[in-house]
Structure 1
Amino acid sequence: MNESLRRELLEMARLDDKTRAELADTGELFKAGYEPRMARVHKRNARRLRRIIQSVGWPGTDLVGPDGAKAAWLVLQHAIAEPELVRRTLPLLEAAVRAGAADPAHAAFLEDRIRFFEGRPQRYGTQLDWDADGNLSPGEVEEPERLDDRRLAAGLPSLGKQTEEARNRAMAEGERAPVDHKAYLSARDEWARRVGWRTR
């Protein structure tokens, strides 16, 4: 167990959570675009996580304990402006899952995160976004008839339960659906192209 690395990862996740909570409280988090203060925290954490991975590989439960591994996953999940890092790390996380050193749900969330930003159907339905009716929804899912089996295998709750929890959290934090859904999708997709998630 690398206790100093564990503590560092926990502090990175704590800063992420603290910044998000502060920006949600003021409503700044939900204004159009990627809130600059949140973006800076994500970028700083991603830069450090990249160095950690280069040094020790994926920091799994065997190295940093369950809470440290969860913190590393949170940092990676939020490194949305670093598509190369996220894509390159997914196989490492999947290998850690196979070795029993990572949570299968974390790999499922990360794979869906990549697919979502690339504009592809998700496998597990973990990434919710605003739909045209003003609801947080998972959007298109690959092989929907097998979705429940995949979610069960990854240790995920039912899609209905996850969706309800996400909608309740958005309501509690004051997050609202975009007024102009088409403009919202256009801005989201343009950002994804600009940072390298999409080529067209």
Structure 2
Amino acid sequence: MSHNHFAERIIELKNEDLELRDQLIKRGELGEGYHKEMEQLHSRNAKKLNDIMDIIGYPGIDKVGKEASEAAWLIIQHAIGQPELMRKCVRLLKDAVDEQKADPKNLAYLSDRIAVFEGKPQLYGTQFDWNENGEMVPNFIDNITKVNERRKSVGLNTLEEQTAIIREQVKRENQSPPEDFSKRKNELEIWKKKVGWIK
């Protein structure tokens, strides 16, 4: 069953997200912590998407089409202040992937993002952050020798290729490493506790 109205709304929410990101890049405000404006937009979009999911279930390709399904995943991926919603969505997304109604790459990204916020190792190496040397690197991976095999199994490029892409992207967007790595790490841990990722 097609839900065109919901598909259009989901795509609009994604576009609002990307427009704000572009504005923050242009203003040189992306990269130093979680920008307040972005946090508020992500939270609003997550709530609106959750309301849609209460009506139609997970917005898989069969319900809203490929573009809106991808847009829904992006909104979920950015709902980092809503741990319970992200955990609920990763279960729904797994079912959709099992039924071939969603992209397995999206499940890899969402699973990794949740693992990183919970302080666990990621499986696919999709999540990156600055290290203490000011380099953009993958967050901790459970098994570095198996990561490329896993990435290939869901249609991702190699970790080495992705690292080069991510580093080029942050350069293009004029993102720079935190001035005080320890302070940023500490602030992130406080934030994760505050929103409920860790106890």
What interval of TM-score do these two structures reach, taking the shorter chain for normalisation? Answer: over 0.9
How far, CA to CA, are the matches of 1:5 and 1:106 in structure 2?
20
Residue 162 of structure 2 is matched in structure 1 by 162
Matched, 1:115 2:115: yes
- Deviations along 1:46-103, one digit per CA (max 9) or x if unpaired, are 0011111222111000011111100000000000000000011111001100111100
Matched, 1:87 2:49: no
> Aligned AA for 1:80?
I
> Aligned AA for 2:126?
T
**RMSD (Å) for aligned C-alpha atoms:** 0.9
Could you say which structure has the higher helix fraction? 1
Residue 34 of structure 2 is matched in structure 1 by 34
Residue 73 of structure 1 is matched in structure 2 by 73
- Deviations along 1:107-152, one digit per CA (max 9) or x if unpaired, are 0000000011111110101000001111111131112221111111
1:35 is displaced (CA, Å) by: 0.9
What aligned pairs does 1:122-161 form with structure 2 within 5 A after superposition?
A: 122-161=122-161
- Deviations along 1:159-193, one digit per CA (max 9) or x if unpaired, are 11111111111111110011211111111111111
Aligned pairs, how many?
198
Give the secondary-structure state (helix, strand or coil) at the position aligned to 2:146. Answer: helix
Matched, 1:104 2:104: yes
Residue 173 of structure 1 is matched in structure 2 by 173
Residue 14 of structure 2 is matched in structure 1 by 13
Q: Percent identity?
A: 37
> Aligned AA for 1:169?
Q
Deviates more, 1:142-151 or 1:76-85: 142-151
Deviates more, 1:171-180 or 1:22-31: 22-31
> Aligned AA for 1:3?
N
What aligned pairs does 1:56-67 form with structure 2 within 5 A after superposition?
A: 56-67=56-67
How far, CA to CA, are the matches of 2:183 and 2:44 in structure 1?
29
Runs of 4+ in 1 over 4 A off after TM superposition: none
Q: Provide TM-score, normalisation by structure 2.
A: 0.97
How far, CA to CA, are the matches of 1:47 and 1:154 in structure 2?
29
> Aligned AA for 1:4?
H
How far, CA to CA, are the matches of 1:60 and 1:193 in structure 2?
31
How far, CA to CA, are the matches of 1:61 and 1:41 in structure 2?
24
> Aligned AA for 1:2?
H
